[in-house]
Amino acid sequence: MNVFHINGISILLLLFFDRLSVGKASSVIIQAGELKYNHKYFENFNMSIINNTVNLDMIIRKPLTRGFKSHIDFSISLGKSKHYQSVFAHIIDVCGVVTAIKSNIFKSWFQSMLENGNFMYNCPVPEGHYFLRNWKLDSSLVPQYLYAGDYRISCHLFFGKLKTKHEDFVVDLIFFALLK
């Protein structure tokens, strides 16, 4: 019997796509991404975005336990400049979202990602190899409340208290997407 799992990185992707939408349009094009990770938590972590699909491959060397948080910032580009204006920012308890019983948009994303990966569905996330292969956002799962445009979604995962000496950095993911 296969057991499907989800981890905190999956939640970040879910949050990213949960916040993207356009009036009546539902087209999201994932254009690029950036990644920086803490070698204390990951032996290796790779991300690629090819033809609007996301691929993740990571080896976790230290368990991701309760207290694992994410600061998510959704920003839109102003005009044709490379400057972004924050639209929404929030700190999320990653394990709390993963283990929530209540059905919501995040559970829908989990199900979508489970079809293409082997992520944890609970916390703690033990050491091991985790991946997501050729995952593409299903337009039926895109909420309808942001304007069309170029977006940057920054996901900063950490333990402790954000921007203090007690913060323990885990990973930074940045996604660039076009909403049409």
Question: DSSP letter string over the chain?
Answer: -------HHHHHHHHHHHT---SS---EEEEEEEEEE-TTTEEEEEEEEETTEEEEEEEESS-B-TT-EEEEEEEEE-TTSS-EEEEEEEEEEHHHHHH--S--HHHHHHHHHHTTB---SSSSB-SEEEEEEEE---GGG--S-S-SEEEEEEEEEEESSTTSTT-EEEEEEEEEEEE-
Q: Is residue 105 part of a domain?
A: yes
Q: Is residue 1 part of a domain?
A: no
Express each pLDDT in 68-114 by its tens digit.
Answer: 999 988 899 988 778 999 988 888 888 877 777 776 666 666 678 77
Work out how many domains the chain is built from and give that number: 1
Give the domain CATH number at 84: 2.70.220
Q: Is residue 119 part of a domain?
A: yes
The structure's pTM equals 0.81
Q: Is residue 2 part of a domain?
A: no
